Amino acid sequence: MTDLTGKIIQVHADDNVAIVVEAGGLEKGQCLPDGLVVAEPVPQGHKIALTAIGKDKPIIRYGEVIGAAVVNIGQGEHVNESNVKLPQAPSLDELALATRSVPEPAPLTGYTFEGFRNPDGSVGTKNVLGITTSVQCVAGTVDYVVERIKRELLPLYPNVDDVVGLNHSYGCGVAINAPAAIVPIRTLKNIALNPNFGNEVMVIGLGCEKLQPSTLLDDRPVKIYENTEAADPEANVLSLQDDSFHGFNDMVEGILAMAERHLERLNRRRRETCPASELVVGMQCGGSDAFSGVTANPAVGFATDLIVRAGGSVMFSEVTEVRDAIHLLTPRAANEQVGKTLIEQMAWYDDYLSQGQADRSANPSPGNKKGGLSNVVEKALGSVIKSGNSPIIDVIGPGERLRRKGLTFAATPASDFICGTLQLAAGMNLQVFTTGRGTPYGLSMVPVLKVSTNSQLGKRWHDIIDLDAGRIATGDASIEDVGWELFHLILDVASGRKQAAADRLGIHNDLVLFNPAPVT
C-alpha cells in the first residue's frame, strides 16, 4: 500500500487507480507526486486515474481487474460507476481448488476470555434467556411478556443479562414442505442453540400453525438434554391455543412461569476463564465505501488470522460480495472438497438470483456508490479481505451450524439483517461489523462491534462506533495495530469487561429469516 503524500492511496503496485484520502476530496488543478495533476474534482473515497486508461482497457485496483473503461479516461480523471463497465463474473468451471500452499502460521497461545461454558461445550459471551417462537402470530404476546419479564423477573436474577423474544415472520402461510423451506426451518432450530442462550430451549407457539413447535425441537443434540427437564418438550413448549388458557392473562402467566424455571437455571451460571479458541466470531460489512477495503476490512482480516491462530472460529459470509472474488478464495480451500462446496454455494446463489430475474448488479447500493465503490467487483475485492489469509477449512449452507474451528465460509445473502440472523444460527458468540457510510446495526443476542472505515464517521458517530480503522488511511495506525486492538477488544467484550456500543445504547435490529421457498 503506497501513501502518496496522504492525499491518495494506491493499494497495489499494479493499480492504475488510487483512492482519495483527503477529507473534502481533490480539487481540479491540484498537483500530486509523480507529476499527477487532478483533472477534475474527485470526492473523498473515490478513485482517480493514475495513468491514462484507453477505452475498453482494464481498470485495476487491489491488483485485480474491477472493470473496463467505457470511454478514454485521462490521467487525473475521476473513475466511477459511469465510466467503468462491469466485467463478467469469474466462471465457476475453471477455478483452482486448494492449490495455495502457505506455511502454517505459529499458534497464538495464552489468550483467554471470561465466558459462560454450556453443557454442550460451547461458550457464551452473554447469559441470555431466549424465547423461541414458531409463528409470527405470537409475536405481540411474546413482546408483551418479554417486557414484563424485564421489569418484574430479571431484577430477581442478577446473573442473567437479558431476555430476548426470537420473533420472526415465518411459521404459517408458507410452503412448509418445499425443498428450500429447509433454510428458514433449520435457521430457527439452530438459533435456539446459540451459545448465548445457555442450551436452554423454550418455545412459544400458537397451535394451528404449519411450523409445529415440536419441529423446532427435532435434531437437538440429545446428549445435552438427556435426563434434564430441558429434554421434555411438554415442559418447554407452550401453545397459546391450549384449552387450559382462559383469556390472555392465563397465557401470560403460563409463559412467565415457564420463563422463571429457565431463569433459575441460567442465574446459577458464572463466567469462567476460557481459551480464545472458544471464540466464534462472525465477520460482516454494511454501508461500505471505498475505504472498507483499505482500512477496516484489512484490519478485520488481520484479527481473523489472530483468532484462527489462537484456535478459534471465524466465519465470513455474504455470497454476492464474495462471488466476484471467488477466484481468490478457491485456491485457499483447505482441500478440494471444501473448494467444490464453495463453488456449489456460488452456483446455488447464481441460480437463485436468476430465478428472481435479478443479477449481481443489484449490489452495490446507491450509498456504496456515493462512497466511491463503482461496482460489485470492487466491493467484493474489498469485502473478502475480512477473511484474512487463513485457509478456508469448511463451507456451510444458510442456517447450518458450524462444524469446525478455523475459518469457515458461511453462505448467506449480503443483507445485513439476514446475514446476522444466519451467523447467529451458525453459532457465533460475537460479531464484528465494518461500515463506511455508517449504520446503527446491532443484535440483541450477541455483542456487535462496529468498526468505521474512515475517521470522519468514527468521529461523527463517536458513541455508535466501537473502533475507528480510518486511522490507517491517515497514517496514524497500521493495519496490524488496529487488528491487534480489535482482537483485544473482542476478548474484553466477550468477557463482559467492556460493552459494545449497540448494547450500551440498546439499539438492536430484528431477526430476518432467509426464506428462498414460496409463500402461500
Residue 36 or 326: the one with the smaller Cβ distance to Ca ion is 326
Residue 130 or 372 having the CB closest to Ca ion: 372
Q: Which residues pair with 42 in a beta bridge?
A: 26
State the nearest-atom distance from the C-beta of 379 to Ca ion, in Å.
10
345, three cell numbers: 454455494
Q: Which of these ranges, 240-248, 396-404, 406-414, 478-486, lies near Ca ion under the rule CB under 5 A?
A: 406-414
Q: Which stretch binds Ca ion (CB under 5 A): 40-48, 210-218, 286-294, 374-382?
A: 286-294
Closest by CA position to 215, among listed 248, 179, 171: 171
Q: DSSP state, 136? A: G
State the minimum distance, in angstroms, from the CB of residue 401 to Ca ion.
21
The phi, psi pair for 111, rounded to 5°, reads -95, 135
Binding mask 81-120 for Ca ion (x = CB under 5 A): ----------------------------------------
Size of the site for Ca ion (CB under 5 A): 3
**Least distance (Å) from Ca ion to the CB of residue 104?**
31
Binding mask 301-330 for Ca ion (x = CB under 5 A): ------------------------------
Q: Are 392 and 334 in contact (CB under 8 A)?
A: yes
Shortest Å distance, C-beta 287 to Ca ion = 8
Which residue, 375, 366, 384, is CA-closest to 292?
384
Nearer to Ca ion, 262 or 369 (CB): 369
Least distance between Ca ion and beta carbon 121 (Å)? 30
CB-nearest residue to Ca ion: 286
- Distance in Å, CB of 286 to Ca ion, minimum: 4
Binding to Ca ion, residues 412-451 (CB under 5 A): 414, 416
Nearest one of 424, 426, 441 to 501, comparing CA atoms: 441
Written as nine digits, the cell of 427 is 453459532
Picking from 38, 471, 380, 288, the residue whose alpha carbon sits closest to that of residue 20 is 38
Cα–Cα nearest to 280, from 429, 393, 421: 429
Report how far Cα 465 is from the mean position of its chain's Cα atoms. 16
230: how many CB neighbours lie within 10 A of its CB?
Answer: 22
- Distance of alpha carbon 16 from the chain centroid: 31
Distance of closest approach, residue 414 Cβ to Ca ion, in angstroms: 4
Q: Which is nearer to Ca ion, 129 or 445 (CB)?
A: 445
Nearest approach, Cβ of 194 to Ca ion (angstroms)?
19
In Å, how far are 8, 139, 209, 454 from 146, measured between CA atoms? 51, 10, 22, 38
Least distance (Å) between residue 487 CB and Ca ion: 22
C-alpha dist (Å) from residue 5 to 12, 34, 373: 16, 11, 22
The DSSP output letter for 16 is S
Smaller CB separation from Ca ion, 7 or 369 = 369
Between the alpha carbon of residue 311 and those of residues 205, 363, 400, 407, 451, the distances in Å are 39, 34, 21, 10, 23
Q: How far apart are the C-alpha atoms of 205 and 138, rounded to whole Å?
A: 7
Residue 286 contacts Ca ion per CB under 5 A: yes
C-alpha cell at 333: 480451500
Please identify, using beta-carbon distances, which residue of 127 and 434 lies nearer to Ca ion.
434
In this structure, the chain runs to a length of 520
Question: Interface with Ca ion includes 371 (CB under 5 A)?
Answer: no
Q: Which is nearer to Ca ion, 286 or 339 (CB)?
A: 286
205 or 382: CB nearest Ca ion: 382
Judged by CB under 5 A, the chain residues 9 through 68 that form the site for Ca ion are none
Q: Which is nearer to Ca ion, 262 or 450 (CB)?
A: 450
Comparing CB distances to Ca ion, the nearer of 239 and 292 is 292
Q: Nearest-CA neighbor of 83 among 101, 65, 69?
A: 69
Q: Minimal distance in Å, beta carbon 383 to Ca ion? A: 8
At 352, list the grid cell.
437463485
Stretch that binds Ca ion, among 49-57, 279-287, 292-300, 420-428 (CB under 5 A): 279-287
Q: Under the criterion CB under 5 A, does residue 289 sit at the interface with Ca ion?
A: no
Q: Which is nearer to Ca ion, 414 or 486 (CB)?
A: 414
| Shortest reach from residue 419's CB to Ca ion, in Å | 5
What residues make contact with Ca ion under the rule CB under 5 A? Answer: 286, 414, 416
